Amino acid sequence: MSAKLFKQVIKLDITYLNCALCDKDITHLDDLITHLKNVHNKPMYLDVKSQILPFRFDSPQLKCAICSTEFVAFKLLQEHMNMHFGNYICEICGAGFVTDRLRMNHVRRHASGEYKCKQCDKTFTNDTRRREHEKRTHLGISKRNKCNYCTEKFVDYWKKVNHMVKEHGMPPVVLKCSACDRTFSNQRALSTHTRKDHLMERRHKCTDCDMRFFSKSSLQKHMAKHTGLRQFKCDVCLKAYGRKNTLREHMRIHANDRRFACTHCGQAFVQKCSWRNHMRAVHKEHA
């Protein structure tokens, strides 16, 4: 295949994907490539960066062919595919992109910052996109997901579902993970869990050690170990911590929040580690 072809993103409909040699139905594009190599001995190169984006249109909802996340517009689904095919990484924010051309377009947004949203930190390449973002995100215009019971509208499908559960008594949605016993109330949470805990997606790499993290926020928390920066300060005793949740746990001392109670003697502790030490030392239990 021509090298020029891979300078562009290739969109492939895999709704009715099957092998042309043996007519076997195959669900995923990667499985077809493996099938051609192993079963039909075709010379397939598995270690190259893929810029072929698979799409499936076998349901009324517009879903990602890889993680099943739902979208209201095909453009949003295309942008989402960069998460699965992060061949080129932005060195500024760690975002991944299918092609280097998409990455460079993204990097230019960091550099220009000419069209910045007035209500958040997002920047856009032109004023039209900025205004569309402000209307959709901050003004609530163009909300497409209308409640089935009232006139309320929502930008996000799952916000609409949560609204109907809370306000109209609709039965809660329960989505079960296919790899473990955990359940979730929306598709986004299930997709995040699948990518983080089962696919072990770790695109955010520490520059000081070999550790990698699922989210940018987790990487930032980790970096406190290397920098020694303690930016979260207690207003009462002025002690400082590198992580916000560590400060939050510390504040329970000042509030005398003794939430960890011993079931044997009733003694309660502020921190779980103190409760665990008590259980070992006094009651000979390894909690």
Is 48 inside a domain boundary? no
CA–CA distance, 133 with 138 (Å, rounded to integer): 8
Residue 40: predicted pLDDT? 93
The CATH number of whichever domain residue 275 belongs to comes to 3.30.160.60
Residue 115: predicted pLDDT? 67
Is 259 inside a domain boundary? yes
- Ramachandran area for residue 211 (φ above 0: left; ψ -120 to 50: alpha; else beta): beta
CA torsion angle for 228, 231, 236, 239 (degrees, to 10)?
10
Residue 1: predicted pLDDT? 43
Give the type of residue at 219: L
Is 15 inside a domain boundary? no
Is 55 inside a domain boundary? no
Contact indicator for 17, 26 with CB cutoff of 8 Å: yes
Compare 124 and 86 and report the one with higher pLDDT.
86
Compare 231 and 205 and report the one with higher pLDDT.
205
Is 267 inside a domain boundary? yes
Is 90 inside a domain boundary? no
CA distances from 281 to 171, 259, 285, 286 (A): 47, 19, 8, 9
Compare 82 and 119 and report the one with higher pLDDT.
82
Percentage of the chain beyond pLDDT 90 is 5
Residue 111: predicted pLDDT? 64
Domain count, the chain: 1
Contact indicator for 95, 89 with CB cutoff of 8 Å: yes
Is 251 inside a domain boundary? yes
Is 262 inside a domain boundary? yes
Domain range for 272 is 235-283
Q: What is the mean pLDDT of the chain?
A: 81
pLDDT digits (tens, 9 = 90+) for 169-227: 888 888 888 888 899 887 778 888 988 888 888 888 888 888 998 888 888 788 878 87
**CB-based contacts of 141, cutoff 8 Å, min separation 6:** 135
- Whole-model pTM: value is 0.39
- HEC assignment per residue over the chain: CCHHHHHCCEEEECCCCECCCCCCECCCHHHHHHHHHHCCCCCCCCCCCCCEEEECCCCCCEEECCCCCEECCHHHHHHHHHHCCCCEECCCCCCEECCHHHHHHHHHHHHHCCEECCCCCCEECCHHHHHHHHHHHHCCCCCCEECCCCCCEECCHHHHHHHHHHHHCCCCCCEECCCCCCEECCHHHHHHHHHHHHCCCCCEECCCCCCEECCHHHHHHHHHHHHCCCCEECCCCCCEECCHHHHHHHHHHHCCCCCEECCCCCCEECCHHHHHHHHHHHHCCCC
Is it the case that residue 141 has pLDDT exceeding 60?
no
Q: Note the residue count of the chain.
A: 287
pLDDT digits (tens, 9 = 90+) for 83-115: 888 888 888 777 788 888 888 877 776 665 566
pLDDT digits (tens, 9 = 90+) for 1-12: 455 555 678 888
